[in-house]
Structure 1
Amino acid sequence: MLFCFMAERGYGMLKGKIDNNRMLQAVSVIAGITVNFIPAYLMHRFSLPLYFDTAGTIFCAALAGSLPGIVTAVATSILCTAFNSYSIYYTLIGILIAIVTAFFMRNKLFEKRKNVLLYLLILAVIGGCIGTVFQWVLFGKPQFSDVENLAERFSDGSGAGFFFFSALINTGLNFLDKSLAAGLAFLVLHFVPPQRRIAIINCSWMQKPLTEQEIAELNRSPKGSGISVKDRLTGLLILASVLMALVMAASGLAFYSMNLKKEYRENAIKATELAKKVINADRIQDYLLSKKTISDYEDPEYRRTYELLCAIRESIIGIEYLYVYQIREDGCHIVFDTDPEIYNIGTHINDIESFDESFLPYLPTLLAGERMEPLENDDRFGYFITNYEPLYDSQGECVAYVGADASLDFMQSYMRDFSFRVLLVFSGFFVLILSSGLWISMRYLVYPIKSLAVMVTGFDPENADQEILDQNTKKIASLDIKTKDEVEQLYHALCRMTEGTAEQMRRVRHYAQISSEMQNGLIITMADMVENRDSDTGAHVQKTSAYVRIILNGLKRKGYYLNKLTPQYMSDVETSAPLHDVGKISIPDAILNKPGKLDDEEFAIMKTHTTEGMRIIDKAIERVRGGEYLKEARNMAAYHHERWDGKGYPEGLAGEVIPLSARVMAVADVFDALASPRVYKPAFPLEKALDIISEGAGTQFDPKCVEVFMDSLDEVKAVLKKYHG
């Protein structure tokens, strides 16, 4: 892992570019390992109950982040096995210290003094309590005799009390140990300039470094989203690591068990073959007839044979029992048995041992005096590999069997102990693999892609103005993604796409502006044609357009009709407002410019300007491509004489059934008619005109339109002053 980390740090050098910050990061890891190793060796050499192997880990984690600290901790544990084979089991403790240190540095917790004490207490608990648990798994007691002796003074030397005081003493020693280590680490860190520290931390980014707030925002999954890439990768790494550990542990145990059984099977066969050579088979019957106790039988040949059998049992590894039995239907008749317990209790030759149930399937073979393969038994006597070898006399008769039991009882405890040790080693390397995998995936994949996604989501060429569009284009380019892989290729492709889109939208908006100006010019020209025929409506279209804009903005400020008042809608209404009286082009001049009051017939003709206006604009909409903006011109032309109470014309619409643009124009049109002079009347005073508008709220006019109009009197007066002087 260290070599992988160093290779990553040296990537720039392979490209011919030396990144000083990455080099310093790599050097800090090497220095940290050295600073850990030398004091740890001295502590071990002089048998001191301290470790002092974390100063380098703390320094690297504080300077360069959690991953360099983790790499330092793991490499230290591996190197320390050169003088302490148990150091590899404590890898997880060093890793946790690196993670805690990086967390405190990243969140600037050391700025408060009380957090320094909290930090040291956390390290002491990690080293003391977790370390004590590991020691109990490895040794069944404290690792250091001084700690063991002191804990025994406060307890009975066993049980929960002994464990508690051992953990308490270890925690105290670790508080001293970690305080000294942290003091040394932060003393050295003090001489590193703050800007250099930031540069070393940021050099691991494959894009523009992100702040903690930006990282938190990126990690916040949108509502309704599925499983994130980060979570998928984390789950995959955990699953792969656990499966790998299980497969390796199971394979190791299986190979160990297989080889051990093979060795013990061969040893059992060897023991029985050697035993056959030292036994005089022709004397077996004499021994049985003697019925003496094994310990008291003084026959010289028997005693010599017994001693040789004991020597064979003791000299061959794994042989627990070596014996000679004559197998009969009533049981096993003892001839020799080297078990010390059998010897001491005064067992007699020819005593009968009953058959165990596991023995019964093989009884016919044994009674027949035939050879059989070694057996693997797990019964009330224990877990054994047993070999029975027939013993033939000079006449070729099977007079007994030599049995050798190779005990496998210890294998179960060994496998349990092995599993615990694998778990301890795996825990450290599991965190290393998980941290490395997450670091690589987050820096090379998750953060770059999420950053791109956020930026591209904010890139909305249809709804954003050109300045915002240009700013978003620059933001995407500022990500500066340099992963040297497909993600970087995607980034450059998106940069080209957004730059091209922004430039294209600039041209489209330019042409749209020209088109809009032409449309507005045509609208004003058409309105002027109507106005020039009506000698009584000077600047009417300009003033009503201004009043329409005032009312629309007022409705927007008040929060009325927000679902309708989009920027595009407001622009369309204001732009096409001058066409509200376009239908008057069909009204005869005699009626249009009559100085007196119109009679009923003339008024009926005058009212047709609404339907004529609708007809004219409908034809324009049909013939002009992109004439959607004229839809509101049609509504205003057709319905600006409708009333809120339904008593207007041409269709007698009421309330909000009347299009909003027409309701707005109704207020603007009537107010201008009241406040402006006509051939048949002088201009009303402003107060009188406003009173009439107010009185019409809820009957003739939309009350909300009247409300916002009255709230905007300063703007209304400015329009009057501009056109009336």
Structure 2
Amino acid sequence: MCIDAAHGSTMGAAMDDIENVRSLRGGKKLVMLLLFCVICIAVNFIGSHVATGLNLPFYFDCLGSVLAGVFGGYMPGIIVGYLTNFVTSLNDPSSFYYCLSNVFIAVCSAFASRRGWFGKPHTVLLVVLLFALCGGVLGSVITWFLYSAATGEVSSDFAQQVMDVTGMAPFAAQVCSDFLIDLADKGITVVVALVVMRILPDGLRSQFDFTFWQQEPLEGEQLEAAKSARTRGLSLRAKVALIVAVVMAVVAAATISISFMMFHRSNIEAQGRIAEGVANLAVQAVDADRVGEFLKEGEAAPGYAETEARLATIRDNAPETQYVYVYRIQEDGCHVVFDPDTADEPGSDPGDVIPFDDAFLPYRDDLLAGRPISPVVSNESYGWLLTVYRPIIDSNGRCTAYAAVDISMDTLVSDEMSFLARVIILFVAFFVLICAIAIWFTEYGLVMPVNSISRAAGNFAFDSETTRSGSVQGLRDLGITTGDEVENLYQAVLKTSEDTVDFIADSQQKAATIERMQDNLIMVMADLVESRDQHTGDHVRKTAAYTKAIMDQMRREGIYANVLTDEYIANVVKSAPLHDVGKIEVSDTILNKPGRLTDEEFAIMRSHTTAGEKILEDAKGAMSEAGYLDEAQRLAAYHHEKWNGQGYPYGLSAEDIPLSARIMAVADVFDALVAERIYKKPFTYEKAMAIITEGAGKHFDPVVVEAFSHISEELYAQRTVLDDIVTHKHDDAAKG
């Protein structure tokens, strides 16, 4: 408990130190970024003023944005793009609507720089094309919707010339002309940017490449792996971007709709007030007591022409007004009293009857009664109009006619389209900014740390103590300090990894102890057998050494190389001392009989093979993993089988006999021949090898005998040393 607390305290202090150092470096880099952005914004202004001062047909207003994207990356480029147009909008508000072009140019420059496009001629041309699309085409579309969409007129002389020469539609001519101008403008901008990139040192980019690492910065392969981590579904980066985009889209749609409806209502009300003012002037211009006379006599009535001229003057002095006229409302329709001619069409004659438009039918009774009505919007015989009717009251208080004013809704539509375009452009601009900021913070505060943890955990190596320690150190070196749930996850993964490594080390230590205990138990079991068989001496230990020597030689010669693996050899060597374990069930009388065994006694002696097989089968059943006991069982059961099938207990032959048992057969007989027994003297090396060689293909596997013959003399010469080694091991086991 105390150790865990101390470990947690140490880790917390380490994280605090890392965060403090990172904060100092981040503060210095932030100052450098701000200075860099100010310089780039100034470059944009200088370029723009140079182009204006020299009266050039270019802009030169995005060189700073390009340099910000090249040297600083996406965020500095976006910041410079927005702030350039924001500062410009303080003097010219309409310039802010073009910030999208500047921002997209900065984004394209950062994208191209990171892919090395500025270093190859054909990709440089692609960069110029991209810039022209962002500046010329996008800027032209913005211009069209702000100023020309309602009127259908182009906004520049060059665009008019393109339209006249090519016969293009106004919109296409506007886009084409702006693109051609911008292509030259951005070509010059890219050339200047390339010169600046060539002059400034390569290491400068790292000074202005603004990142938001909340861990140890990644580079090279690690950075690419963290960025391109594969997911089964949509990536976290994409999910955040999608959520932000959907939320922003919903908010934008709701806000734009509400704003547009409010603007539309406000516009209608404003135009209605203008129309009411004009209608009131028209009422004052008409002599209400003579309306009947004017209607009956028309232009022949005294003062008619003067009154109609005053109405025309009132109309002409109000630019928003399309028509000013006077009607007397009767059951059969609207009787024209005054309808001044316009420049485009003549007015109706006095006495003409105009049928009620459908839009006025709901107000028919009010009009017949001489009551005021609300402004009416109609789109019928005279076009899309906002109409205001004001009653003309005579000296007796009766409504003798209505002064009517029509305002064309086309002007309102133009204003509303321009308003809608401005609102949409502003929302798109802020949409891009917010998405960029959200993705940027998500990238460094969420995606990179999570992918780094995932990659470090996925690459965690358990195959050795060195690789385990290296993997833990790799996790520790990430140094994630987001201060939120991601950091909690990192600390949990790190602690789990450290605990796992400690557990594995402890388990391996215990496993090694258990393995040593098992080895000692094997030798104890072998000693139990040897202590009862006075003939064998240290036979089981020596045969283990001989089998290892034979297997090593066979592997050197490429014999059964696919079988003789390190694990296989270790299992055989460890199992060899148990090959005679079945003798524990043979009585001492038979084991130590100095004379020749009877047939019955020999049959009992031979049973030690099957007895050993049964003992080891039972031992395997008591263990979850058999391990080397499989080999021990095969050795015990088959080490007296012969190559020609004349052995016991099963009469197996050739390669039906397990390889380990065929090797043990040679080692077992060789040791029995050269060792001294109470009933015989040791055979000479020559005699022993003659017996072994003669038994090849009969008693023994000839391949094993061949390999053994290459080392047998050396083994025989070292038997004294081997005796000493075996004796020492025996003494150590006894002491243990």
TM-score category of the 2 structures, normalised to the smaller one: 0.7 to 0.9
Secondary structure at 2:303 match in 1:
helix
Q: Give matches, 1:116-135, under 5 Å.
A: 116-135=124-143
- The sequence identity of aligned pairs, in percent, is 28
Instruction: Quote the offset at 1:469 in angstroms.
Output: 0.8
Name the CA distance, whole Å, in 2 between partners of 1:102 and 1:690.
79
Equivalent positions of 1:158-177 (< 5 A) are 162=173, 166-167=177-178, 169-177=180-188
CA distance in structure 1 between the partners assigned to 2:403 and 2:343 by the alignment: 19
1:628 Cα deviation (Å)? 5.6
5 Å-filtered alignment, 1:487-498, equals 487-498=486-497
Structure 2 counterpart of 1:217, which letter? A
Letter in 2 for 1:310: A
Distance 2:411 2:81 in 1: 34
Q: Does 1:391 align with 2:392?
A: yes
Once the 2 structures are TM-superposed, how far is the Cα of residue 689 of structure 1 from its aligned partner? Answer: 6.9
Report matched runs for 1:524-563 at 5 Å: 524-531=523-530, 533=533, 535=535, 537=539, 539-544=542-547
- Which of the residues 241, 248, 252 maps onto 1:245? 252
**Shift of residue 583, structure 1, vs aligned partner:** 2.2
Q: Report the CA distance shift for 1:20/1:652 in structure 2 as closer, same or farther (over 3 A).
A: farther
Distance in 2 separating the partners of 1:719 and 1:389? 132
Once the two structures are overlaid, the 10-residue window that deviates more, 447-456 or 643-652, is: 643-652
- Deviation for aligned residue 1:131: 4.0
Return 5+ residue gaps in structure 1 as ranges.
1-10, 697-705
What is the CA–CA distance in structure 1 between the aligned matches of 2:691 and 2:217, rounded to whole Å?
66
1:106 aligns with 114
Does 2:344 match 1:323? no
2:105 is aligned to 97
Structure 1 residue identity aligned to 2:249? V
Deviates more, 1:46-55 or 1:147-156: 147-156
Matched to 2:235, the amino acid is S
Is contact 1:245-1:426 (8 Å) kept? Answer: yes
**Structure 1 counterpart SS, 2:101:** helix
TM score, norm. by length of structure 2: 0.77
* Cα distance, 1:674–1:644 mapped onto 2, change above 3 Å: closer
Measured in 2, the distance between the counterparts of 1:373 and 1:249 equals 28
Q: Deviations over 1:79-134 (max 9, x none)?
A: 22245444323323322332333234323444545544554454345434444444
Match of 2:193 among 178, 182, 185: 182
- Matched AA of 1:451: S
Preserved contact between residue 580 and residue 613 of structure 1 (Cα < 8 Å): yes
Matches of 2:601 and 2:394, distance apart in 1: 149
Deviation at 1:571, TM superposition (A): 6.6
Secondary structure class of the residue paired with 1:95? helix
TM-aligned CA deviation for residue 526 of structure 1: 1.9
Once the two structures are TM-superposed, the CA of residue 448 in structure 1 deviates from its matched residue by 0.8
- Matches of 1:382 and 1:720 in 2, distance apart? 121
2:721 paired residue number = none
* 2:81 maps to which of 57, 73, 83: 73
Deviations 1:238-280 (A, max 9, x none): 2233233323322321221121122223333344344333333
Correspondence 1:249-398 to 2 at 5 A: 249-290=256-297, 292=298, 297=299, 299-316=301-318, 318-338=320-340, 340=342, 345=346, 347-398=348-399
Q: CA distance change for structure 1 residues 387 and 617 in 2, over 3 Å: closer, same or farther?
A: same
**CA separation of 1:310 and 1:508: change in aligned 2, threshold 3 A:** same
How far apart are 1:422 and its partner, in Å?
4.0
Distance 1:67-1:685 versus aligned 2 partners, 3 A rule: farther
1:50 maps to 2:58 = yes
Q: In structure 1, what residue type is equivalent to 2:185?
A: N
| Structure 1 match to 2:726 | none
- Count, aligned residues: 680
- Paired residue for 1:582? 581
CA deviation string 1:613-655 (max 9, x = no partner): 355446656778x776475367546765799999998799999
1-structure distance, mates of 2:347, 2:230: 82
Contact 1:60 1:68 in 2 (8 A): yes
Correspondence for 1:668? 663
Residues 492 and 319 of structure 1: is their aligned pair in 2 closer, same or farther, counting only changes over 3 Å?
same
For the residue of structure 1 that corresponds to 2:374, the secondary structure is coil
Shift in alpha-carbon separation, 1:202–1:369, aligned structure 2, 3 A: closer
For residues 16 and 299 of structure 1, do their structure 2 counterparts lie closer, same or farther at Cα, with a shift above 3 Å needed? Answer: same
* Letter matched to residue 404 of structure 2: G
Answer whether contact 1:388 1:403 (CA < 8 A) is retained. yes
CA offsets 1:677-723 (integer angstroms, 9 cap, x no match): 55899456777777569979xxxxxxxxx9xx89xx87995698447
Q: Distance in 1 between matches of 2:271 and 2:366?
A: 23
Q: Work out whether residues 151 and 169 of structure 1, in 8 Å CA contact, stay in contact via their aligned partners in 2.
A: no
> Contact 1:124/1:178 (CA < 8 Å) preserved in 2?
no
Once structures 1 and 2 are overlaid, which stretch shifts more, 425-434 or 259-268? Answer: 425-434
Aligned to 1:20: 28
Would the aligned equivalents of 2:339 and 2:349 in 1 still touch at CA under 8 Å? Answer: no
Higher mean Cα deviation, 425-434 or 637-646?
637-646
What CA deviation, in whole Å up to 9, does each residue of 1:520-553 have, x standing for no partner? 2222332343356384645223444666789999
Equivalent residues of 2:74, 2:106 under 8 A apart: yes
Larger displacement relative to structure 2 (676-685 or 52-61): 676-685
Corresponding letter in the other structure for 1:252? S
Shift of 1:76: 1.1
Of 230, 235, 246, 1:228 maps to: 235
| 1:56 CA displacement | 1.9
Counterpart mapping for 1:120-159 below 5 A? 120-140=128-148, 145=157, 147-148=158-159, 151=162, 155=166
Corresponding position of 1:699:
none
Q: Which amino acid aligns with 1:445?
A: L
Unaligned runs of 5+ in 2: 1-18, 674-679, 719-736
Partner of 2:729: none
- How many Å separate the matches in 1 of 2:321 and 2:446? 59
Partner deviation per Cα, 1:34-86 (whole Å, 9 max, x = no partner):
12123213433554222222222222222222211221122112222245444
In the aligned structure 2, how far is the partner of 1:56 from the partner of 1:630?
74
